[in-house]
Structure 1
C-alpha cells in the first residue's frame, strides 16, 4: 500500500467517526422539543440549543478541511482538525473539530515550514513543532481529496502550493465563495488584526481582499463576541449587484445579520432623504464614464467631487459648525408677557454652560424645554386667576414665536444655507463661501436650489448631521468595512469615523483600479493620515490568486506602460491559454468573433463569461445583438440587484469586484481607451480567471501589448 493510500484510508476512518458523532449529537438535540414559552431562562437555553443545531447541520456536510499535527512543548501530541465551526465529541466533550478562528488554528495558516512553530493564545505565546499540515476536501459527506502541504517525513518536506493551485483552478459560479480552507499567511495576519484599528489594505486585482475582509468580520465576531454584535457591523459595497455577489460568503461561515449596503443608500436614510439622491452613484458614474472621458481631460480642472471629498472642505465645515453654535441663540431677550423678561445673557449662560457638552440641536431642545419650565414657575407668581389665564395665553404665543427665531438645524437646510446668498441665509457665511472654488459653489448652489442632492454632497450632509445631532446607538457601528475604498474620499472616511466605535475599520481597495478621476484618492496616505499612528495599520497584498500567469503578466504590462505604477500583481503559478488579441473593425466582424469565443467557452466547463464594453450604450447594443442571435445573456446596467452568472454583458466600469471564467473585452482601440484609460482596461483584463480575449480596431492604444 502506498503512503498516499494509507493516508487516504486513515482520513476516511476519521471522517466516518466524526460524522457519526455529529449525527448522534444532532439527533439528540432535535429530540428536545423547541421551547416557545415566555420563561427567559428557557428562552436562553433554547437559543443556545438552536445555535448548536445550526452549527452541527453545517458541520454534517463538511465537518473540516484541514489537519495539523502540532506537538506543544512539554505536552502530548494530538492531531488537530480545522473546520468552519468547532465541534466537541460526545464522550469526553473534547474538541473534535477546531474552529478556524481559534488561536491554535492560526498555525494552519501561518506555518510555512521550519523546525518550530508558535501562536498567540490568551495565556501567552505557545511554542511547539508541526510535523504535518494536510488539506482535506470533503463534499456532501464524502472524502474527495487529501493533500499534504507539509510532511516532515516526506522526501521533500517543504510547504507546497499544490492544494492552493488545485482550488484556484476550479470554475466560478454566480457567487463569491469563502476561502477558509486556503487562507494564506499574509491574509490571515489581516483577518486576525486587533479590532480597534483602522486597517488599510492595498490589494492587487485578485488578491482576495474582499473575501479577506468578510472573513475578518467572522473572526471579529468570534474573538470579541462580548463586545460587538453582527447587526452593528456594516459592509459598504460599490453597488447592489456586488452585494448580491458576495451575499453567500458570510452565511457559509455561519455569520448572519451583518448590514450590507452602498454608502449612498445608507447616507440618504440617515439624513432623512426619502429616496436615493437624484444623481446618485450609478447615474453620476454613467455620465462621467460614458461622456466625460470622450472629452479632453485637463488635469488642472477642479471636479466638485474631488473638492467636496477633501479635508479642506471638511475644515471649512468645521468652521461653519462653530459659526452655527456661536450664532444659534437668537439675539433677543425672551419676554413671556409684558413686564417679565428672561435676558439673552442668562439664556446664553445656560447654552454655553450647563448644556455645553451636548450637540447643538440637543442644546436647543434642552434650552427651549428649560425656558418652558421657567415660564411655568413664573406663572405660579400670578396675583390672580384672571392674570394667570391672561399670562398663560400670552406665554404660549410668545414661546412659539421665540422658538421660530432659532435657526432650522436640519442638515439639508444648513447645507443649503452655505450655498445661498446672505439675504436668504440663517448665518453669515460670505467668508466661508469665498473659500469654495467658484465653479463648485455655483454648480452646488444651482443643484440645491432645484432640490437635487448629488452623490458628492452626501459626506457633507452627514457631517453636518453628526455635528449638530446626538448620535444614538442605532446609528453607530461596531465595525465598518469599506470595499473599493480607492473610490472613497478622505472626507467620507472621516465622516464614517464619527459613526464607528474605536476607529474600527477595514478599508480595502486597489489604487491601480481607481478609474474615476473625478473622485477618490491617489495615495493611501490620504486615508492613513486621518488616524493617529497607533490607531492604523497598512497591509499590501501583492499575490493574485484569480487569474492565470498569462493574464496577470499581460495586465501588468498595461499598468507599466500606461500608468507607470509599481503596484503590480505577482501571479500564483497557474498557467493557462495565452491572451487572445483579435482584430475586429466592423460591428459584423466583432459579433462574429464574439460568437466564436462564446462557442469555445460554452463547449468547455466554464460557467461564467463576461463581454465588457466601453460604455453602457454599447453594452445595450451588444446585448440586443446577442439575443437576436438566439443567445441567452444578462445585461448588467447598474440598476440590477442580482448577478445571475452565465453570459453577462456590461460596461467595463461596472465589472469591478466581479470575476468570470472567461472575459471578452471589446473595442480596445485609441478612441475607446485613451491615455487616461489604462487603469480601466486593466480592470477589464483582470476580471478573467482562465481566458481573456481582446478585440481591437485599427488604432490600438500605445500601452496595449500586441505580441503575446
Structure 2
C-alpha cells in the first residue's frame, strides 16, 4: 500500500490535495456567509415564527463552523463507474472526498461528501474481495490540521499487497488528549454496519473495553439524524450516560459532526421528580430496582379504586332527576378498571362515561341531548363526588411515600410479590411526615417515575442511546424504555463491566425490561484502543467475572507498555507520584485511578508534589494533563497513560468480591498506550 509524505513540488498529487482542502475550506466559509446574510425580517408572519426561524438559522451557522485542527475531509473514493449507473453502460468514474459534513461550491457541486451519505459507505466497507466498484481508496494524514500525507489502496489491482493502512493504524493509536473524539476516519466495517442500521429497530451492542461501542452509538445518532432528520427533529433524540463526568467526556463528539441538538442526560436526570437526599443499603437498592416493584406500584396506585359506590347516582337537571343504579355504575367502573388504561386517563374519562349513560336515559325518554349536555352532566357536582369516591386522584410521589412508610399499605401491595424480610428492607427506618421531609434515595426516584407513568403516560422520543447499560436495574430499564416506547434505541454495554449489585445478567433479560425484546444483539470483539498486553492482563479476570464472555482481541500493532510494581506500604504514595511524573514526561493524557477511599490521600500527595490535576470529565490542557479518577467514575473514560493504585483496595472497596473484580477490570482497561500498576498488598489471585 503506497504512502506519500510531504513533498514541496507544486505538481505533486499531495499539493493538489492541499489545494482542494483550501478550496473546500473557502467554500465552507462562503456557505456560512450565505446563511449569515439571510434577511428574515419579511418572511415570517409573527414574532413566534420569526424566533423559531432565527434559532434554526443560528443552529445552521454553528453547524457550518470550520473547526480548527479538525480535518474537513479524511478520505477520497475514486469510483470505476458513476455511482448508480450500470457498469455495462461504461460511464466514467467519479471522485468523492469523504468528510465530516457536506461542502459544495458556488454552483452547488459537491466538494466534500458527508460521511453518512450512501456514496460514502464503500469508504468503510469496500474490500479487495468486494471493492463495491471503487478503484482507489485514499486516506489522508494530518499534522496539526495540515494535510501532510496520503495513502492509497488500489482495491482492484491484484498486484498490490493487502496490508494494514499505516495512516489508519496511526490514527487509531494517536495519543488521546482532551475529551473523546469522533472516529469517522477510522470506522471499521463491523462498526459501520451498526452505525447505519435502520431507525425502526433497536440495536444492542455488547463490546469489551476499547472496541469503540460508545463511539459507535454516538455516530449512529449522527447517521440517523442525517437519514431521518425531519422525523427525529420532531420526536427528539437523547443520549443517556452513567454520570456527569462521562457526559462531559463525550459531549464534543456530536457537535464535531455538525449535530448540535442532541440532548444528554443520566438516568437520575430523567427521574428527577423528587430531590434525592438519602441513600439505600445495597440490599434495599437491589429490591427497589427489582422488576417486581412495577406490580407493587401498580397495586398501590390502583388501591383506591372502589368498584361499587355506596349509593346510586342522582343528577338533577332542571325539573327532572336522572338516576343511575349502583349495579350500572359498578359495571362502568369495573369496565374502566379491567381495561388497564392509565389511572389518570381513566379518572378523566370516567365522568364522560357516566354522563354518556345518563344521556342514553334522556334519549330513551324522548329528549335529544347533544355533546354540550353530556359535558355539562360530566361537570355536575354529583358526578364529580362519585368519581372522587370511586376513582380518587393519585399523587405519584405521595403514593410511593406511603408505600415506603406504611408497613400495612406495603404489605397489601406486595402480597405474594415480596417476602416479609424484603418488605422490611425497603421500609424507611424513619417514616417521613410529608413530601417536604422525605429523604428520597436514587432508587426511590425511579419508583416515583414508575408511579407517574402509571398515572399519566410518559412522552416518547424518536431515538435513545443508552450507554453503560449493564449497570441499570430492571426498574431503571423501564424508566428508559418509557422514553422510547414508540421509538427505537441503541443499547451499549459490557456485561463484564457491571459493577452494581443489580448488574445485568444477560442482554435478553435487560432488553425485555426495556420493552425491546425484539432488539438485535451485536458483539464487538476487536479492540482498537487498549493495547494487546494491557487487555490480555485484564482479561485474566474474565473467568471470575463473566465466564461466558469472549475476551477482546486487540488489533493494535503496538503491544503497549505494561508494568506491575510491588512497593512497600509506606512507600506507595511516593511510588504513585513517581509513576505519574514518568507518564507526564510523555505526550498525552494521564489518568491516576484509585479506590474511592484513597482519593483524598492521593490528592494531598499530588498537591505536595506540585502536580496539577483535574476531576473526571474536565478537559486536559498544557497546564494540567493528569486526571485523578475514583474507580467508581472510571467507566467509559480513556487516557493515554494510566497509573493504577493498589488493585486490592479497589476490590475491597466494593460490597462483594465479584463486583470488586469487575470494578478492577474496568480500571485496568482505561489505558490507550501504557499501564503502570502499583501495589503494596498482594494482587488478586485471578491476576497472578
TM-score by length of 2: 0.82
Q: Could you give the per-residue CA deviations for residues 22-49 of structure 1, whole angstroms, max 9, x where no partner exists?
A: 4444455545546486347988987776
Q: Could you give the per-residue CA deviations for residues 540-592 of structure 1, whole angstroms, max 9, x where no partner exists?
A: 011122222221121122334665453311112232553111112323x1122
Say if 2:268 and 2:442, in contact at 8 Å, map to a contact too. yes
1:64 paired with 2:83, answer: no
Partner SS state of residue 230, structure 2: coil
**Which of 553, 557, 564 is the equivalent residue of 1:581?**
564
In the alignment, which residue of structure 2 is the partner of 1:387?
none
Structure 2 residues without counterparts, runs of 5 or longer: 82-86, 362-376, 433-437
**Which of 85, 88, 94 is the equivalent residue of 1:78?**
94
More displaced stretch, 662-671 vs 626-635:
662-671
Tell me the CA shift for residue 435 of structure 1.
2.1
Structure 1 residues 155, 515: CA separation in 2 closer, same or farther (over 3 Å shift)? same
In the alignment, which residue of structure 2 is the partner of 1:646?
625
More displaced stretch, 256-265 vs 15-24:
15-24
Structure 1 residues 3, 223: CA separation in 2 closer, same or farther (over 3 Å shift)? closer
Say if 2:332 and 2:353, in contact at 8 Å, map to a contact too. no
| Counterpart Cα distance in 2 of 1:362 and 1:654 | 41
In the alignment, which residue of structure 2 is the partner of 1:480?
464
**Which of 388, 394, 405 is the equivalent residue of 1:409?**
394
Say if 1:37 and 1:43, in contact at 8 Å, map to a contact too. no
Structure 1 residues 354, 239: CA separation in 2 closer, same or farther (over 3 Å shift)? closer
Superposition pairs of residues 266-415 of structure 1, within 5 angstroms? 266-268=270-272, 272-273=273-274, 275=275, 277-279=276-278, 303-315=283-295, 317=297, 324=303, 327=306, 330-334=309-313, 342-351=324-333, 359-368=342-351, 403=388, 406-415=391-400
| Counterpart Cα distance in 1 of 2:560 and 2:346 | 67
Partner SS state of residue 681, structure 1: helix
Partner SS state of residue 623, structure 1: helix
In the alignment, which residue of structure 1 is the partner of 2:640?
661
| Counterpart Cα distance in 2 of 1:230 and 1:366 | 28
1:538 paired with 2:521, answer: yes
Tell me the CA shift for residue 510 of structure 1.
0.5
Say if 1:419 and 1:433, in contact at 8 Å, map to a contact too. no
Q: Could you give the per-residue CA deviations for residues 306-355 of structure 1, whole angstroms, max 9, x where no partner exists?
A: 4443444445555666x548646754444578987554444445445689
Superposition pairs of residues 69-468 of structure 1, within 5 angstroms? 69-72=78-81, 73=87, 74=89, 75-91=91-107, 93-114=108-129, 116-117=131-132, 129-137=133-141, 142-153=146-157, 155-158=159-162, 160-229=164-233, 232-268=236-272, 272-273=273-274, 275=275, 277-279=276-278, 303-315=283-295, 317=297, 324=303, 327=306, 330-334=309-313, 342-351=324-333, 359-368=342-351, 403=388, 406-418=391-403, 430=412, 432-446=414-428, 449-450=431-432, 451-468=438-455
Say if 2:309 and 2:389, in contact at 8 Å, map to a contact too. no
Structure 1 residues without counterparts, runs of 5 or longer: 118-128, 289-302, 379-391
| Counterpart Cα distance in 1 of 2:51 and 2:546 | 60
Say if 2:404 and 2:431, in contact at 8 Å, map to a contact too. no
1:622 paired with 2:622, answer: no
1:12 paired with 2:12, answer: no
Tell me the CA shift for residue 202 of structure 1.
0.3
More displaced stretch, 305-314 vs 221-230:
305-314
| Counterpart Cα distance in 2 of 1:19 and 1:669 | 53
| Counterpart Cα distance in 1 of 2:351 and 2:185 | 60
In the alignment, which residue of structure 2 is the partner of 1:383?
none
More displaced stretch, 242-251 vs 46-55:
46-55
Tell me the CA shift for residue 481 of structure 1.
1.2
Alignment RMSD: 3.9
**Which of 484, 487, 490 is the equivalent residue of 1:500?**
484
Q: Could you give the per-residue CA deviations for residues 357-406 of structure 1, whole angstroms, max 9, x where no partner exists?
A: 8522122134347779999999xxxxxxxxxxxxx9xx869956973664
| Counterpart Cα distance in 2 of 1:29 and 1:94 | 18
Partner SS state of residue 76, structure 2: strand
Q: Could you give the per-residue CA deviations for residues 648-671 of structure 1, whole angstroms, max 9, x where no partner exists?
A: 223212100111121111123389
Partner SS state of residue 500, structure 1: coil
In the alignment, which residue of structure 2 is the partner of 1:292?
none
More displaced stretch, 100-109 vs 310-319:
310-319
Structure 1 residues 20, 249: CA separation in 2 closer, same or farther (over 3 Å shift)? closer
Structure 1 residues 166, 500: CA separation in 2 closer, same or farther (over 3 Å shift)? same
Structure 1 residues 230, 684: CA separation in 2 closer, same or farther (over 3 Å shift)? farther
| Counterpart Cα distance in 2 of 1:261 and 1:533 | 21
Partner SS state of residue 226, structure 1: helix
Partner SS state of residue 132, structure 1: strand
